[in-house]
Structure 1
Amino acid sequence: MNGGALASHRALLKSAGVALTGAALGLLSGIPLGELFGAALAVVIARQSTGMPTNLPGWVLIAVQLILGVSVGAVVKFDQLVTTMTWPAVVGLGLCLICQMAINYWWLYAKEGWTPFESLLGAVPGAMAAILMVSETHAKPSAKIVFSHSVRFFILVAVAAVISWWLPIDSTAAQAPSAIFWPGLLAVLIASLLLGKLVERLGFPAPYMVAALLCAAVSNSLFPDCVIHVPAIMLILATAMLGALIGSRLAQTTLREAIRYARAGLIVTLFGLLVTAIFAWVWSHLIGSSPVVLLLAWVPGSVEAMTAVALLLGLEPVFVMVNHIVRLLILHALPVVLKTQLARVANHS
């Protein structure tokens, strides 16, 4: 092993140690999603105080997606998964997205003074990967865009944690049998990893989570006697890794940039929450779903974080995950569908 690779492994071990320490403290604090916030905060503090590298390898996000996907798929069968999304829900999700983007764009462009291109990317509710891809394609600085989206993400996860204070927790983990069929779980994870590579090539958002969800649901349908159960410790580790990923992203923003962009990120987040809450309340009466479930399903947060929250709180995690995947599919398709328009806006910014 050469010196560069050895240094990289040491940096990874340090980051992992910091994140796990923060996650353990957060878990012991009793705060909802404490392992997520503890890991994120620990990574940010370590980066700002010691300059420790916080870049995490791509397999960390893959592991998070696999664990969360199997955790959700373990409580549903394939036929239930197919009927989860209905046309009224798709229409409500689409209208909610349009309103979120319109209001956010108006604020960033008219009140914050961002360029039309920056305002458009900053207004998109989620899909960070697609946003960065478009930003880098047109050689535009993305610091303010990254930070505003990071602020949005962190606030939304915090809101979800606050919700858990007054919601009765009926988690799937508590209802699952204590015995774990390890051969079946490992087989599903391996199959999910292989299928995820194919799904990733097809351009699906959260590809390994989609693959894990499908593999676990199919396993439940084909082998009903072999119950796939993800142990609680794995779910806690996945949530902690997700927190470390959030912290590594936030830690790369300087204090000056944070102060400069925090206001825009905060206001855009509040607008997104308000629009989502209104649509969730209205559509809950139209389709008979819980407004809290619709809020988690349509809020512009990441599919991994919102699925983790829904899973831990027992709030229809399959419905929440599928809605976020559909939302991300729509948002990831926009750069392709509107390629010419985006180039025109970027050139005039």
Structure 2
Amino acid sequence: MDVYKTIVVGLFGALLGSQLPIPLAELFAAALVVVAYLRLTKKNLRLPTAVLTTIQIILGVSIGITVQLSELIDSFSMPLFVGLILCMLSQTSVNFVWLYKKEKWTPFESLLGAIPGAMAAILMISEEQQKPSPKIIFSHSIRLLLLVVLAGFIATTGDGTSQLSQTLSPSQIPHLALLALASYLLGKAVGKIGVPAPFLLTSLLVAALYNAQFPTLQLVIPESLIMVATAILGVLIGSRLAPTTLKQALEYSKAGFIVTLLGVSVTVFYAWLFSSLTGTDWEVLLLAWVPGSVEAMTAVALLLGLEPAFVAINHVMRLMMLYMMPVVLKSPLQRLSRIKDLF
């Protein structure tokens, strides 16, 4: 019963946040309200598996239906794809070294805290551990907050439209139900072989393939469902932040701030390097490769006339690779979770 009460509190916070002209304000408002609620009631909360599964499916499908495989193929450039991968690997490596060497985090915490983006996937992997670490949540929350707010102040001044503003047609409901069912069944099967965040991965792939097969459907996720998923994700964040002391919060926030600066610095370097090699505007590459919000970065590119389609496609590719990263890193992640020191 406490779980559902807290989710309602988180939904209330998300509704309040939706009134703010800041991207993802719902997420952070829900988290803050839940932190206040759990501290006042002195409760300790862990979300059940069914709730986490629901979040993964909603978020995975919402991203997957935006993927246009034809656009991915048309905009594909091997040199820039290599640049994207090198940029992501460098961001992760630099952040990992800082968190492990300077902040004295464990190898497992350092890796999850260092991966640039895909906050939902990282939270799901963290939540699968017996004792989810608040350090990881702080690191990603601060990074997301800084990048989204900075881009959001520019993005919200324009006329860009979001897929959430589109109207859901009743004829789309059976298609979405089929996607949810297929994602759940495949996620159960994939989860049995130990893949982290299985429902997030399968729902993204199923939705992307379905969208490619039926491109004229123009599927959209109801805004109310996105709001619920965002609120629950805020509850998850808030429930992990609530037991944290002020000293720990400041320490973890500092780490998140530093790795954000390091990640952006690495992105600036690679944007300049591959701009020199390929002739692509470095500002375009910066917006395409910075580990920020897809919606906000695309809106900024639209306002500044910096190839918004290219920016959006690169962020989709980045997210897809990040969501698949836990599958590739399954064995290293399992080993790291049992190691306290690499040396």
Matched residues in 2 for 1:312 and 1:66: separation? 25
The residue number in structure 2 matching 1:3 is none
**Counterpart residue number, 1:6:** none
- The alpha-carbon distance between structure 1 residues 280 and 237, as it changes in their structure 2 partners (threshold 3 A), is farther
Confirm whether residue 124 of structure 1 aligns to residue 119 of structure 2: no
Matched residue, 1:325: 320
Aligned pairs for 1:331-342 (under 5 A) are 333-334=328-329, 336=331
Query: What pairs with 1:61-210 in structure 2 (closer than 5 Å)?
Result: 61-76=52-67, 80=71, 87-108=78-99, 111-112=102-103, 114=104, 117=107, 120-121=110-111, 124-126=114-116, 128=122, 144=135, 147-174=138-165, 178-201=169-192, 206-210=197-201
Given that 1:19 and 1:240 are in contact with CA atoms closer than 8 Å, whether structure 2 keeps it comes out as yes
**Tell me, what secondary structure is at the counterpart of 1:346?**
coil
What TM-score does the superposition give when structure 2 sets the normalisation length? 0.73
SS of corresponding position for 2:183: helix
Give the Cα–Cα distance (whole angstroms) in 2 for the partners of residues 247 and 115 of structure 1. Answer: 21
Deviations 1:270-312 (A, max 9, x none): 212232344346556748589568646551x7xxxx4676799
Residues 122-160 of structure 1 show CA distances to partners (whole Å, capped at 9, x for unaligned) of: 763257469859998xx9x95655544444344444445
Shift of 1:20: 1.0
Shift, 1:18, TM fit: 0.7
Deviation for aligned residue 1:47: 1.8
Distance 2:335 2:124 in 1: 16
In 2, are the aligned partners of 1:180 and 1:231 still within 8 Å (CA)?
no
Partner of 2:18: 27
Residue deviations 1:74-110 (CA, integer Å, cap 9, x gap): 3445555677765434422332234324433554466
- Aligned residue among 221, 228, 233 for 1:242: 233
Unaligned residue ranges in structure 2 (runs of 5+)? 303-307
CA distance in 2, matches of 1:332, 1:323: 15
Q: Is the 8 A contact 1:92 1:283 kept in 2?
A: yes
**Separation in 1, partners of 2:319, 2:140:** 16
SS in 2 for 1:29: coil
Cα distance in 1 for partners of 2:29, 2:192 equals 34
Q: Using the alignment, how far apart are the partners of 1:134 and 1:173 within structure 2?
A: 30
Report the 3-state secondary structure (helix = DSSP H, G, I; strand = E; otherwise coil) of the residue aligned with 2:315: helix
2:331 partner amino acid: V
Which of 240, 255, 258 is matched with 2:249 structurally?
258
1:57 aligns with 2:48: yes
- What is the SS of the residue equivalent to 1:276? helix
Task: Name the CA distance, whole Å, in 1 between partners of 2:125 and 2:206.
Answer: 29
Shift of 1:252: 3.2
Q: Structure 1 length normalisation: TM-score?
A: 0.72
For 2:83, give the aligned amino acid.
Answer: G
Identity level (%): 36
Superposed displacement of residue 42, structure 1: 0.8
Which residue among 241, 261, 277 is the counterpart of 1:270? 261
Distance 2:229 2:249 in 1: 27
Q: Secondary structure at the match of 1:32?
A: coil
Distance 1:339 1:297 in 2: 28
SS in 1 for 2:341: helix
Q: 1 CA distance for matches of 2:21 and 2:233?
A: 18
Which residue is 1:15 aligned to? Answer: 6
CA–CA distance in 2 between the matches of 1:29 and 1:344? 42
The answer to whether the Cα contact below 8 Å between 1:72 and 1:318 also exists between their aligned partners in 2 is: no
Shift of 1:331: 6.0
Q: Shift in Å at residue 13 of structure 1?
A: 1.6
Change in Cα spacing, 1:149 to 1:280, as seen in structure 2 (3 Å) is same
Whether the 8 Å CA contact 1:147–1:253 is kept in 2: the answer is: no
Supply the distance in 1 between the matched residues of 2:46 and 2:256 (Cα, whole angstroms).
Answer: 23
Q: Deviations over 1:40-80 (max 9, x none)?
A: 11111112232233322233333233223333333445555
- d(CA) in 1 for partners of 2:169 and 2:279? 35
Give the Cα–Cα distance (whole angstroms) in 1 for the partners of residues 287 and 176 of structure 2: 31
Match of 2:36 in 1: 45
Whether the aligned pair in 2 keeps the contact of 1:152 and 1:266 (CA below 8 Å) is yes
Report the 3-state secondary structure (helix = DSSP H, G, I; strand = E; otherwise coil) of the residue aligned with 2:47. Answer: coil
Q: Which amino acid aligns with 2:315?
A: V
Give yes or no for contact 1:20–1:240 (8 Å, CA) kept in 2: yes
Give the drift of 1:201: 4.1
RMSD: 4.3
Matching residue of 1:4: none
AA aligned to 2:34 is: V
Q: Is the 8 A contact 1:81 1:217 kept in 2?
A: no
> Equivalents in 1 of 2:284, 2:234: separation in Å?
23
Distance 1:331 1:215, change over 3 A: closer
